[in-house]
Amino acid sequence: MQSSPQGRDGIEIRPVYGPSDAAEDLADRLGEPGSFPYTRGVHPTMYTSRPWTMRQYAGFATAAESNRRYRDLLAAGTTGLSVAFDLPTQMGYDSDAPEAAGEVGKVGVAVDSLADMRALFDGIPLGEVSTSMTINAPAAVLLVLYQLVAEEQGVDAAALRGTIQNDILKEYIARGTYIFPPAPSLRLVADTFAYCAAELPQWNTISISGYHMAEAGATPAQELAFTLADGIEYVECALAAGLDVDAFAPRLSFFFVARSTLLTEVAKFRAARRIWARIMRDRFGAKDPRSMKLRFHTQTAGVELTAQQPEVNLARVTVQAVAAVLGGTQSLHTNAYDEAIALPTDTSARLALRTQQVLAAETDLTATVDPFAGSYAVEALTDEVEAEALRLIDAVFAHGSAVAAIEEGFQKGEIERSAYETAKRIDSGEQTVVGVNKYVLNGDEAPYAPLKVDPAIEASQVDRLAAHRAGRDSERLASALAGLKRAASGTDNVLYPLKTALAAGATVGEVCAALAAEWGRHVPTDNW
- 252-296 pLDDT, tens digit each: 999 999 999 999 999 999 999 999 999 999 999 999 999 999 999
Give the pLDDT of residue 442: 81
pTM: 0.92
345 — pLDDT class (breaks 50, 70, 90): confident
Per-residue model confidence (pLDDT) at position 1: 30
pLDDT grade for 6, boundaries at 50, 70 and 90: very low
CA 39 to CA 385: how far, in whole Å?
Answer: 13
Residue 197 counted as domain residue: yes
pLDDT band, residue 369 (cuts 50/70/90): very high
**What one-character DSSP code corresponds to residue 90?**
H
User: Does the residue 508 lie in any domain?
Assistant: no
Reading phi first (left if > 0) and then psi (alpha if -120 to 50, else beta), residue 443 is in: left
Assign 203 a pLDDT band (cuts: 50, 70, 90).
Answer: very high
Asked whether residue 329 is assigned to any structural domain, the reply reads yes
Q: Which of 234, 258, 278, 202 is nearest to 38 (CA)?
A: 278
Residue 338 lies in a domain: yes
When mean pLDDT is compared over 11-25, 65-79, 289-303, the highest value belongs to 289-303
pLDDT surpassing 90 at residue 78: no
- Angle at alpha carbon of residue 433, lines to 429 and 434, rounded to 5°: 115
Q: How far apart are CA 332 and CA 269, in angstroms?
A: 13
Q: Which residue has the higher pLDDT, 1 or 310?
A: 310
Q: Map residue 510 onto helix, strand or coil.
A: helix
Q: How far apart are CA 392 and CA 218, in angstroms?
A: 12
pLDDT, tens digit (0-9, with 9 covering 90-100), for 120-176? 999 999 999 999 999 999 999 999 999 999 999 999 999 999 999 999 999 999 989
Average pLDDT, the chain: 94
Report pLDDT for 12.
Answer: 87
CA gap 351, 346 in Å, rounded: 9
What is the strand order of the sheet 252-258 is part of? 203-204, 161-164, 130-134, 80-84, 53-58, 331-333, 296-300, 252-258, 206-209
For residue 495, give the H/E element and its range.
Answer: helix 495-503
CA distance 508 to 83: 16
> According to the model, what pLDDT value does residue 527 have?
55
- Say if 275 falls within a structural domain: yes
In a domain, 262, yes or no: yes
76 occurs within a structural domain: no
Q: How many residues are recorded in the chain?
A: 528
Give the total number of structural domains in the chain. Answer: 1
How far is the C-alpha of 426 from the C-alpha of 277, rounded, in Å?
36
User: Phi, psi at residue 227, to the nearest 5°?
Assistant: -70, -45
What band does 237 get if pLDDT is binned at 50, 70 and 90?
A: very high
Confidence grade of residue 370 (pLDDT, cut at 50, 70, 90): very high
Determine the pLDDT at residue 96. Answer: 97
Q: What CATH number is attached to the domain comprising 424?
A: 3.20.20.240
Residue 196 belongs to a domain: yes
- Picking from 48-52, 349-353, 455-459, which range would have the lowest pLDDT averaged per residue? 455-459
- Give the residue numbers spanning the domain of 398: 27-58+165-428
